[in-house]
Structure 1
Amino acid sequence: MAFLLNHIVSEVQRKEKAISLSAPNVIDEAYQMTIYLQEYLFSIREDIIKQGFKNHWEEINFFRNIKPYILSKLIFHNKIFRIHTACPVDRGKMYTNYFSEHLRELKQEYREHIYNSDFYRYYRSGRTDRDETYFRLGNINFHEGLNSFVFEIDLLFSTYYDNKVARIIANELFYNYILQKINDDEVTGSLSSRDLSVNDVIWTDTKNALIELIYALYTNGSLSYGKIGIRKVSLVLEKLFQITLGDLHNSFHRMKYRSGSRTAFLDQLKSSLEEYMDKDL
């Protein structure tokens, strides 16, 4: 049985995108992904129990890379579901404090249980010399004083350390998610406080056009007297116009060296405005 990480990653990402587009809210999205990943992992477990592995290298690859990826996504989406179903409000100070508290708890867990462990240093360094011990079935050494969680694992489908890798990955995903939620609320808090409805306001021109506008506003000091950074300007407009711009710096670099006018969108804005003004003459 051959397990290809790239294929599995593509399959999970495809499902994430499909559910994200159809789910009415983040809670339902997280719930659907949790159910999907749980069933996906269970089906793989059934196949492995029936067919086994071709060789020990396939076994090591599965428990070091394949299963931790799927399990980390399952842990992550389940955490998203739990954190949002207990969230007190949608925006504001309580909302930010709520996510900030989860961030502190995550950092504390990392300090106490992860970064000081020999296994964490082994995994992070990219070493493979102990993979035979860590990622093969039946090699759990109960004399090492392992976490009591070891007594609850499925010995037919876990080496114990594949679960630890999954939790390392899931914690990183969760950490980045919480940071994003805190930053998004700080950026959009003023918009929400004025009860502005922006759901129907979308950007219908090109991404490059918006990036050109962002840099123009930033370099001209048109927002907050020029005391606001380019990244924050970008986040505000991305949120307002419901668009993801990606790497601003790289896009702007290409604009600097493109043929023709380097400010094509701004030139068009000026032309359109002047034509509109002329209609009133």
Structure 2
Amino acid sequence: MIATIKNNSLLDFEYELSLILNANGNEIEKAKKCIIFTQDVVIQLNEWLKHHEFESLQDEITFFKEIKPHIMAQYIFYTEILELLTTLPLDKSKKVKHYEKKKDAIHQFYRKHREFIKYIKSQATHLDALYFTRKRHSAIFVDDYKTINQDATVCTSHDYLLAEVIAYELLALHIENYIDHENQSCAVTQNQIQSSLHWTAKKIDLIELIYALYESKVFDNGQAELKEITHVFEKAFQIDLGDNITRSYIDIKNRKSDAVRFLNQLQTALVSKIGSDIN
């Protein structure tokens, strides 16, 4: 896996992570396994970096801007998820406040680093050599490094900060889902869909279908929210997608070929049926 990552590919890493997430177990158990896995990958990468010289400045920038932060972000994200869930109050009325407190902390982080986030979101590159190459005596090092990322031979001034940005964006989406579940705000909780149907294909197939319907704006003239559509499918087909949908969408988006494989399978099956009926 490390060899693949060093060649600027995250495919093996994401595949291994998806195996953990799609295995049996509750969200806390999966978070613990993801932390162990991602920490091990980061440690191996750091050992490699201590003795590695990149062939070009651009290779170094690519690694510290596009590769390592995405790995480190998963470590940060699942550490945050574990802390969030293991400190969740038993009192239902206090759970939303617990989630809202974390949302406030994320917003404070956004405000503190708004200029850097603007730089990343605008896809700017003019400061990349400063932010994403190893400069041992640079005056721009941020002062809140975590222990796993302190050695200046294995990190740059901003690769960890970028990892935090990526992690907190994903965390914010999950918190919204948690709050929505607690408030039971979507219409499906009022209608109480009754069905004996069970979804027996892969969860990621259903998520692919949900995203396609959402992006096609087929519900409520395009006004329906993704989480509301998701809840309807969860209730209708007796399946829980709560801790899978955002992660699985990233997996779908990162597919190198046949990105919408399930939708293509549906089209093939229907076209085949129509063809057989005509003949």
Indicate the TM-score class for this superposition, using the shorter chain for normalisation: 0.5 to 0.7
1:203 matched to 2:199? The reply is yes
% same residue:
21
Aligned to 1:3: 6
TM-fit CA distance, 1:42: 1.1
Contact 2:64–2:159 (CA under 8 A) maintained in structure 1: yes
Q: Find the residue that maps to 2:61 and give its secondary structure.
A: helix
CA distance in 1, matches of 2:122, 2:82: 32
Q: Find the residue that maps to 1:242 and give its secondary structure.
A: coil
1:123 matched to 2:124? The reply is no
Aligned letter for 1:181?
A: Y
CA distance in 1, matches of 2:118, 2:226: 33
Alignment counterpart, residue 237 of structure 1, candidates 217, 226, 232? 232
Worse overlay, 92-101 or 60-69: 92-101
TM-fit CA distance, 1:102: 1.4
CA distance in 1, matches of 2:228, 2:170: 25
CA distance in 1, matches of 2:146, 2:36: 25
Worse overlay, 57-66 or 130-139: 130-139
TM-fit CA distance, 1:177: 1.1
Q: Deviations over 1:243-263 (max 9, x none)?
A: 6698xxxx8xx99xx88xxxx
TM-fit CA distance, 1:190: 10
Aligned to 1:274: none
Q: Find the residue that maps to 1:154 and give its secondary structure.
A: coil
TM-fit CA distance, 1:82: 0.9
TM-fit CA distance, 1:229: 5.4
Q: Find the residue that maps to 1:51 and give its secondary structure.
A: coil
Contact 2:73–2:163 (CA under 8 A) maintained in structure 1: yes
Q: Deviations over 1:40-88 (max 9, x none)?
A: 0111122222332222221111111111111111100111111111112
Unaligned runs of 5+ in 2: 250-262, 272-279
Aligned letter for 2:130?
A: T
Aligned to 1:156: 153
Contact 1:137–1:159 (CA under 8 A) maintained in structure 2: yes
How has the CA–CA distance of structure 1 residues 109 and 134 changed in structure 2, closer, same or farther, with 3 Å as cutoff? closer
Alignment counterpart, residue 133 of structure 1, candidates 130, 135, 149? 130
Aligned to 1:99: 99
CA distance in 2, matches of 1:150, 1:230: 37
Aligned to 2:78: 77
Contact 1:140–1:159 (CA under 8 A) maintained in structure 2: no
Contact 2:136–2:153 (CA under 8 A) maintained in structure 1: no
Contact 1:188–1:239 (CA under 8 A) maintained in structure 2: no
Aligned pairs for 1:15-30 (under 5 A) are: 15-30=16-31
Worse overlay, 229-238 or 122-131: 229-238
CA distance in 1, matches of 2:184, 2:55: 52
1:176 matched to 2:177? The reply is no
How has the CA–CA distance of structure 1 residues 138 and 151 changed in structure 2, closer, same or farther, with 3 Å as cutoff? farther
How has the CA–CA distance of structure 1 residues 12 and 53 changed in structure 2, closer, same or farther, with 3 Å as cutoff? same
Aligned letter for 2:101?
A: E
Q: Deviations over 1:213-265 (max 9, x none)?
A: x9xxxx9x9xxxxxx9586763333222216698xxxx8xx99xx88xxxxxx
Alpha-carbon RMSD:
4.1
TM-fit CA distance, 1:204: 4.7
Aligned to 2:164: 167
Unaligned runs of 5+ in 1: 222-227, 260-281
Aligned letter for 1:60?
A: I
1:114 matched to 2:118? The reply is no
Aligned letter for 2:132?
A: F
1:56 matched to 2:53? The reply is no
How has the CA–CA distance of structure 1 residues 129 and 204 changed in structure 2, closer, same or farther, with 3 Å as cutoff? closer
Contact 1:92–1:189 (CA under 8 A) maintained in structure 2: no
TM-fit CA distance, 1:203: 3.0
Aligned letter for 1:161?
A: H
CA distance in 2, matches of 1:166, 1:157: 14
Q: Find the residue that maps to 2:167 and give its secondary structure.
A: helix
Bigger radius of gyration, 1 or 2? Answer: 1
TM-fit CA distance, 1:17: 2.1
Contact 1:99–1:182 (CA under 8 A) maintained in structure 2: yes
Aligned letter for 2:162?
A: V
Aligned to 1:269: none
TM-fit CA distance, 1:124: 2.2
Q: Find the residue that maps to 1:71 and give its secondary structure.
A: helix
